Amino acid sequence: MKRWLKITLLVLAFALLGLGGYAYYLYHSVKQVMEQTYEPIRKQPANTPKLRLQEPSIAQKDPISILFLGIDQRRGDAGRSDTIMVLTINPNTHQLLMFHIPRDTRTQISGLEKEDKINHAYAFGGVEMAVNTVEAFLQIPIDYYVKVNMNEFVKIIDELGGVDVENKFAFSYEGHSFAVGKLHLKGEEALAYSRMRYDDPKGDLGRNERQRQVIRSLMDKGSHPEVFTKAEAIFSHVQSSVKTNITFEELQQLALDYRSSIQQVDVMEIKGEGVMIDNIYYYAVHTEERKRITQRLQESLGIPSPQKDAAHPPHNGVE
């Protein structure tokens, strides 16, 4: 009996050593990937008023904002940020707020003396100009960004086994057909599902809603234990498709301290109207609507609203 006990304990010890070795491998693989994807940016401090007394600290569990840019990059083209989503995460209120900016939203492009579609900021000046433009438009600080090449991102979706969505109306797009109801989508299907907008009664807002479905499903898939069995392939795709200014140490703290504290996920939409200016379509957002969005985001970040509202001047007569 003692002999069998010793053998059992020996086998268990080797198993634990194996798990420990695999955990060590995963840790260093993630660290190596994050070092490859890390890309800091320069921000224009004049874009937004000094809303914070000090920079947020993930180690102190301060509320933070993250700008997600989904880039549609074609061969010979710098690409445009067809997906522009702001996440505010407040572990103190246990809330995550998801907010999409429609790609055709007309606003001042930071660094240029012109107004244009907000998704053109990335085409003109990359991530830095996109971040600065979003900060000026929303009047909140953007702490971090995550840039994803959407054409490469489909491989990550496939590695995770696809995504699950709830489709509200039947449509076809880019050779794929989508029925009403619950759907399980592979990578290319998910990309087509999240791209369609012209046949959607809500236009860009409907497209944004489908993109949020895909992202939330991916977040759920990424939290399952079986993701570790596909870690090596996923790391490879992340390394080739993602850039961010989140460090490995900050990612660790986000995963351990922030994700576990989130109990509520809220979604906010921006209201506007389509306008034609010089025969070009834009999505115009009224000043009062921009104030409403800014206030909600500031509340989520724990930032007190400024006493004087010098922000959000009317754009092209839209007040």
Average pLDDT score over residue span 132-136? 93
Average pLDDT score over residue span 202-211? 83
Average pLDDT score over residue span 217-243? 71
Provide the phi-psi class of 19: left if phi over 0, else alpha when psi is between -120 and 50, else beta. Answer: alpha
Residue with token string 């900060």: 135
**Looking at per-residue confidence, does 26 or 187 come out higher?**
187
- When mean pLDDT is compared across 51-65, 103-117, 167-181, 227-241, the lowest value belongs to 227-241
Beta-carbon neighbour count of residue 163 at 10 Å?
A: 24
Average pLDDT score over residue span 124-137? 92
**Looking at per-residue confidence, does 211 or 219 come out higher?**
211
The pTM of this model reads 0.78
Amino acid 15: pLDDT: 42
3-state secondary structure of 287: helix
Kindly report the length of the chain: 319
- Strand 64-72 and strand 80-90: the pairing is antiparallel
Flag whether pLDDT at 112 surpasses 80: yes
Amino acid 213: pLDDT: 87
- Strand 181-185 and strand 242-244: the pairing is unpaired
Give the integer Cα–Cα distance in Å for 294 and 225: 37
Average pLDDT score over residue span 257-286? 86
Confidence band for 41, pLDDT divided at 50, 70 and 90: confident
Give the integer Cα–Cα distance in Å for 17 and 12: 9
Flag whether pLDDT at 23 surpasses 90: no
pLDDT > 70 fraction of the chain, expressed in percent and rounded: 76
Sorted by sequence, the CB contacts under 8 Å of residue 151 that are 6+ apart come out as 72, 73, 191
Give the integer Cα–Cα distance in Å for 2 and 319: 83
- When mean pLDDT is compared across 48-62, 137-151, 200-214, 268-282, the lowest value belongs to 48-62
